[in-house]
């Protein structure tokens, strides 16, 4: 009879995705990245049936939500946000190393633990090379501004108005650390920064810690005040992780080749909470470019991981294109937009996870999540 049973899909996605009435965006992402579990769907024809359980990422997660009748997800196993990345506690100096090696090792060890050599921030990371350390208390110098929000920073593309430039101090060294790499100075290579992005409809807030994100969701969206302890874990459902290739960032930031002259208005990436750094585009003329703002860490290509354009960076649809100073709007020309090179939902999530795309993308419209 009916050729396509699209209703099935929509219901499936909506039903599953929306634990609460009124919310429709179901950009939920399985814990951890791309586990791409049982999506045995055929992206081609097939009426794009969704996988049997869009968010049932395997039993490992506790299989809380596989059906339509799902209730607020069972706490899917306290997702240790960045617990993956097993950092060997320490490369224990081998007993039988050559003397010089031992020396080197010793030197390194002392280096990494000596506060003196590291300047101030020593306090920020525990002696134990830890993710744990940065996850929570990071970005918070012992005695300085410790406002209500206990230690997670974040920036909020959507509710920008709140305070684009929170009265924040010059940017403590810790922050720099955070920006440029990892919390702990060691653990150099192939590092991945994990951020947490709120998936609530028009929010998109990004925080550095899962706990912070949970709190955000709990308070702002769920309107609860409950103690985190007695949370039922529903918040988990409303945010996702963003992986950010730090290497990319570091590269970009440190070795800024004097390229990308004008126009290139790359999406600022999340951690640039620095008031001035943010909004290279939305803000008026660059108040002189002293030596300040680096062109930006990534202006194209492979660095998209670090450039996940924060959803909705633009101030308002109404104001028209206040940004993009140059670019003599060749709009007159019927030409389409040159096709921004920002990675769109499709690329980011892949066809298989179409359900995670923004609506626009799903409808084959201009992507609204990763604006150019």
Partner DNA sequence: AATGCCGGGCG
Partner DNA sequence: CGCCCGGCATT
Closest contact distance (angstroms) between CB of 257 and DNA is: 21
Closest contact distance (angstroms) between CB of 12 and DNA is: 10
Interface with DNA includes 189 (CB under 7 A)? no
Closest contact distance (angstroms) between CB of 352 and DNA is: 10
Closest contact distance (angstroms) between CB of 109 and DNA is: 46
Enumerate residues 128-187 that contact DNA by CB under 7 A.
none
**Tokens (6 digits) for 129:** 């090379």
Q: Toward DNA, which CB reaches closer, 277 or 323?
A: 323
Contact of 186 with 197, CB cutoff 8 Å: no
Closest contact distance (angstroms) between CB of 364 and DNA is: 3
Cα torsion 44, 346, 327, 252: sign: negative
Interface with DNA includes 283 (CB under 7 A)? no
Q: Toward DNA, which CB reaches closer, 212 or 245?
A: 245
Task: In whole angstroms, give the CA distance from residue 74 to residue 81.
Answer: 17
Q: Toward DNA, which CB reaches closer, 103 or 351?
A: 351
Please pick, from the candidates 15, 31, 47, 329, the single residue that binds DNA as defined by CB under 7 A.
47
Contact of 310 with 319, CB cutoff 8 Å: no
Closest contact distance (angstroms) between CB of 344 and DNA is: 4
Interface with DNA includes 18 (CB under 7 A)? no
Enumerate residues 311-370 that contact DNA by CB under 7 A.
334-340, 343-347, 350-351, 359, 361-367
Q: Toward DNA, which CB reaches closer, 218 or 353?
A: 353
Residue 363 carries which DSSP code? T
Interface with DNA includes 45 (CB under 7 A)? no
Q: How far is CA 352 from the centre of its chain?
A: 21
Q: Toward DNA, which CB reaches closer, 48 or 187?
A: 48
Q: What is the DSSP string of 257-319?
A: -S---SS--PPPPTT---TTTS-TTTSSS-S--SS-S-S-S--SGGGHHHH-PPS--SS-STT
Q: How far is CA 90 from the centre of its chain?
A: 28
Contact of 214 with 2, CB cutoff 8 Å: no
**Tokens (6 digits) for 101:** 């090696």
Q: Toward DNA, which CB reaches closer, 9 or 136?
A: 9
Task: In whole angstroms, give the CA distance from residue 186 to residue 105.
Answer: 13
Interface with DNA includes 6 (CB under 7 A)? yes
Please pick, from the candidates 23, 33, 48, 293, the single residue that binds DNA as defined by CB under 7 A.
48
CA distances from 202 to 25, 159, 183, 238 (A): 9, 9, 30, 12
Please pick, from the candidates 10, 110, 144, 147, the single residue that binds DNA as defined by CB under 7 A.
10
Q: Toward DNA, which CB reaches closer, 178 or 269?
A: 269
Residues in the interface with DNA (CB under 7 A) total 30
Closest contact distance (angstroms) between CB of 345 and DNA is: 7
Q: Toward DNA, which CB reaches closer, 48 or 293?
A: 48
Q: Where are the alpha helices (H) located in the chain, listed in sequence order? A: 6-17, 99-113, 115-118, 131-135, 173-180, 210-216, 246-254, 304-307, 345-349, 359-362
Interface with DNA includes 372 (CB under 7 A)? yes
Closest contact distance (angstroms) between CB of 186 and DNA is: 36
Task: In whole angstroms, give the CA distance from residue 238 to residue 110.
Answer: 42
Closest contact distance (angstroms) between CB of 343 and DNA is: 6
Residue 216 has phi, psi (to 5 degrees) of -55, -50
Q: In the complex, which residues of this chain contact DNA (CB under 7 A)?
A: 4, 6, 9-10, 24, 47-48, 334-340, 343-347, 350-351, 359, 361-367, 372
């Amino acid at each position: 009879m009916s050729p396509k049973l699209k209703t099935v899909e929509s219901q499936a996605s909506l039903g599953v995705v929306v634990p609460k009435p009124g919310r429709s965006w179901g950009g939920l992402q399985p814990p951890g990245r791309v586990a791409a579990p049982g999506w045995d769907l055929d992206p081609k024809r097939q009426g794009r049936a969704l996988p049997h359980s869009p968010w049932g990422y395997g039993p490992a997660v506790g299989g809380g939500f596989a059906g339509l009748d799902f209730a607020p997800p069972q706490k899917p196993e306290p997702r240790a946000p960045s617990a993956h990345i097993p950092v060997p506690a320490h490369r224990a100096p081998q007993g039988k190393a050559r003397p010089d090696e031992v020396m080197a090792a010793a030197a390194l060890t002392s280096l990494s633990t000596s506060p003196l050599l590291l300047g101030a921030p020593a306090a920020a990371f525990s002696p134990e090379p830890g993710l744990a350390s940065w996850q929570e208390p990071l970005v918070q110098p012992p005695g300085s501004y410790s406002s209500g929000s206990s230690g997670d920073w974040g920036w909020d593309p959507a509710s920008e108005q709140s305070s684009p430039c929170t009265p924040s101090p010059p940017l403590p060294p810790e922050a720099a650390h955070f920006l440029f790499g990892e919390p702990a100075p060691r653990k150099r290579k192939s590092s991945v920064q994990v951020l947490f992005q709120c998936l609530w409809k028009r929010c998109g807030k990004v925080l550095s810690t899962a706990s912070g994100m949970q709190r955000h969701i709990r308070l702002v969206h769920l309107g609860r005040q409950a103690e985190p302890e007695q949370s039922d874990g529903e918040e988990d459902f409303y945010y996702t992780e963003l992986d950010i290739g730090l290497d990319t960032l570091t590269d970009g930031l440190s070795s800024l080749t004097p390229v990308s002259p004008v126009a290139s208005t790359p999406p600022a990436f999340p951690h640039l909470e620095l008031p001035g750094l943010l909004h290279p585009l939305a803000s008026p003329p660059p108040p002189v470019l002293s030596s300040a703002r680096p062109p930006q860490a990534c202006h194209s290509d492979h660095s998209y991981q670090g450039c996940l354009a924060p959803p909705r960076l633009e101030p308002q649809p109404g104001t028209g294109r206040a940004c993009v100073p140059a670019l003599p709007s060749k709009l007159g020309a019927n030409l389409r937009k040159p096709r921004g090179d920002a990675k769109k939902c499709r690329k980011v999530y892949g066809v298989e996870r179409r359900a995670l795309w923004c609506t626009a993308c799903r409808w084959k419209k201009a992507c609204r999540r990763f604006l150019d």
